[in-house]
Amino acid sequence: MSGFCLCKELFLTVLYIPPESVKFLFFFRKPVAFSFLLCYSLSYRTVVNMTKTEIVDAAFKVWGRDLYRKTSLSQVAKELGVSKPALYRHFENKQALTKAMTERFCDDFASSVRADFEKALQEDADDGIFTIIQSVAGFFARNVYAHIFSLINIYDRSMDGHIISERIRARGVDMGTISIVIEKKYNAQYPAMQLVFATVTFYMSYFHKINHSFEKTPSAEKIQSVISTINRLTKNGMGFSHDEAGALDFNKLEKQVEDMTINAKPEPLFKAVAEAVAEAGPWDASMDMVAKRMGLSKSSLYGHFKNKKDMLRRLFLSEFRRILEFARQGINLSANTAEQLYLGIYSIAVYLRLRPEILVAIGWIRTRKLDLGKPDKNTDIFKLFGEIEYTTTQNINEEERQLISHWILFLLINILMHPYLSDNNFNVNSNKKTQNNDIRVLYKLITLGLGGFLR
Task: Note whether 230 and 246 are same-domain residues.
Answer: no
Q: Are residues 379 and 292 in the same domain?
A: yes
Q: How many domains does the chain have?
A: 3
* Residue 304 belongs to some domain of the structure: yes
Domain that holds residue 258: 242-453
| 232 found inside a domain | yes
Using a pLDDT cut of 90, give the percent of the chain over it: 51
Last residue of a domain, one of 44, 64, 87: 87
Query: Do 165 and 275 lie in a common domain?
Result: no
226 lies in the same domain as 273: no
Residues 23 and 71 in one domain: yes
Model confidence at 15: pLDDT above 50: no
Predicted pLDDT of residue 361: 84
Element (H or E) spanning 422, and its range? strand 421-422
**Whole-structure pTM value:** 0.83
> Is 274 found in the same domain as 387?
yes
CB pairs under 8 A, 24+ apart, for 293-297?
294/268, 294/269
CA distance 173 to 105: 13
446 confidence band (pLDDT: 50, 70, 90): very high
Q: What is the mean pLDDT of residues 55-80?
A: 92
Predicted local confidence at residue 3, as pLDDT: 44
| 114 Cβ contact partners less than 8 Å away, ≥ 6 residues apart | 171, 172, 173
| CATH number of the domain where residue 373 is located | 1.10.357.10
Q: Provide the pLDDT for residue 41.
A: 43
| Segment 57-70 mean pLDDT | 92
> Is 295 found in the same domain as 228?
no
Is the residue at 247 inside a domain? yes
Average pLDDT over residues 20-47: 47
Write the CA distances from 1 to 6, 8, 28, 148, 258, integer angstroms: 6, 11, 19, 58, 93
Confidence (pLDDT) at 277:
85
Q: Are residues 275 and 188 in the same domain?
A: no
Residue 362 lies in a domain: yes
pLDDT tier, 258 (very low <50, low <70, confident <90, very high otherwise): very high
**Tens of pLDDT along 178-205?**
999 999 999 877 788 889 999 999 999 9
Higher-confidence position of 348 and 366 = 348
Cβ pair 337, 389 in contact under 8 A: yes
Question: Is a pLDDT exceeding 70 seen at residue 387?
Answer: yes
The answer to whether residue 87 scores a pLDDT higher than 50 is yes
Which of 212, 236, 260 is the C-terminal boundary of a domain?
236
Does residue 94 form part of some domain? no
pLDDT of residue 7 exceeding 80, the answer is: no
Does residue 418 sit within a domain? Answer: yes
- Segment 94-119 mean pLDDT: 96
Same domain (yes/no): 221, 288: no
Q: Are 267 and 416 within one domain?
A: yes
Q: Is residue 292 domain-shared with residue 375, that is, in the same domain? A: yes
Does 140 score more than 90 pLDDT?
A: yes
- Give the per-residue pLDDT at 280: 81
Q: Do residues 75 and 191 share a domain? A: no
Last residue of a domain, one of 41, 58, 87: 87
